[in-house]
Amino acid sequence: MSIFEYNGSAVVAMVGKNCFAIASDRRLGVQLQTIATDFQRISKIHDHLFIGLSGLATDVQTLYQRLVFRHKLYQLREERDMKPETFASLVSAILYEKRFGPYLCQPVIAGLGDDNKPFICTMDSIGAKELAKDFVVSGTASESLYGACEAMFKPDMEAEELFETISQALLSSVDRDCLSGWGGHVYVVTPNEIKERILKGRMD
């Protein structure tokens, strides 16, 4: 069994018109046993920047804490929030530093940059950035997510339609993956508000 299949996870982010959505499942398991159904995989770095981490849960939490620490240092020094592109480079550098003994997680970064232009990117566990203009996926359900997003994604969707699309893609993909699911957690961020929604999914 792969180390990534130890806890199970599914994270996806999509780009819309001046907005973005990032969604994850809520299961935390130890191989085939489920031990929590409300695990937080997506965390806020600042109002317009979110990071979703899939993979080994302990590294998800440790890496998140390290990144928040580095961002707070940046805020103190620069007196402003980090741009999403800069943050992606920071995460990439932190992951590559551990090239021969990596953090066993794959981040998905989503944010609104200058002029409210949405930015998404994902990385493998050693920091190889993959910038995309439409959607990025990560986790044990990633193969199903690739298929679902390719079929369902349309460019320039508004916030409500984007929410519907990303939720349908997430729920249909985790339904085909034993290790992820138990509901969904979706954040849709526009320049004026963050809408956080918890989805009802199959609890098996």
N-to-C CA span, the chain: 20
Under the binding rule (CB under 8 A), the answer on residue 32 touching another protein is no
Under the binding rule (CB under 8 A), the answer on residue 72 touching another protein is no
Classify each residue of 88-118 as buried b or exposed e, where b means 16 or more C-beta atoms within 10 Å of its C-beta. bebbbebbeeeeeebbbbbbbbbbbeeeeeb
- Bridge partners of 21, per DSSP, are 14, 188
List alpha helices for 26-112, DSSP H: 57-78, 84-97
Q: Segment near another protein (CB under 8 A), from 7-15, 32-40, 174-182, 191-199?
A: 191-199
Under the binding rule (CB under 8 A), the answer on residue 191 touching another protein is yes
Q: Segment near another protein (CB under 8 A), from 13-21, 32-40, 141-149, 174-182?
A: 141-149
Cβ–Cβ < 8 Å for 25, 188: no
Q: Segment near another protein (CB under 8 A), from 10-18, 35-43, 95-103, 174-182?
A: 95-103
Among 39, 87, 103, 182, binds another protein (CB under 8 A): 103
Please give the Cα distance from 65 to 31 (Å, whole number): 24
Note the residues at the interface with another protein (CB under 8 A): 1-4, 6, 47-48, 55, 66, 69-70, 73, 92, 95-104, 106, 123-130, 132, 142-143, 146, 151-152, 154, 164-165, 167-168, 171, 183-184, 191-200
